[in-house]
Amino acid sequence: MITLYHNPRCRKSRETLELIQEKGETLKIKLYLKEPPTVKELKEVLAKLGLRPLELIRKQEAVFKEKFKGKEFADDQWIDVMIAHPILIERPIAIKGNTALIGRPPSNVLELL
C-alpha cells in the first residue's frame, strides 16, 4: 500500500496520484491540508525521506516569504511551522513501507511500484 500526501489542487500531486492508480497499487490518500500530520507523523515522514525539516518546506509559498524567509529555527521549530501551515509541506509525498519520496517529477513514484 502507498500512502500519498496529496493536494488535489496541485498538478504534480494529481499526476502522481494518476500514476499510482494506473499501476493498480493499493492507495491511501492523505489530504494533509485538511488534516495536517501530527508531529510524530511528520518526523516519521522526514526520517523515511532522509531529509531535515527545512528541506521539506516549499520556500516559494507566500506564507513562507511573509513569515519565515531569512529566519533560522531548530528542526523541531520547523516541524511546528509545517504543522501550523501545512501548505508549506512539499508535495506530493508517497510512502510505501519504510521508503518515502517526493513526487517531483511524478515519475519518481515509479521507484515505489
Q: Which of 10, 29, 51, 54 does the annotation list as catalytic?
A: 10
Coil, helix or strand for 57? strand
Beta bridge partners of 28: 3
- Catalytic annotation on 10? yes
* 2 beta partners: 27
- Which three three-digit cell numbers place residue 89? 509541506
b/e 53-88 (16+ beta carbons within 10 angstroms → b) = bbebbeeeeeebeeebeeeeeeeeebbebbbebbeb
Helices (H), 23-87: 39-49, 62-67, 75-84
**What positions carry a catalytic annotation?**
10
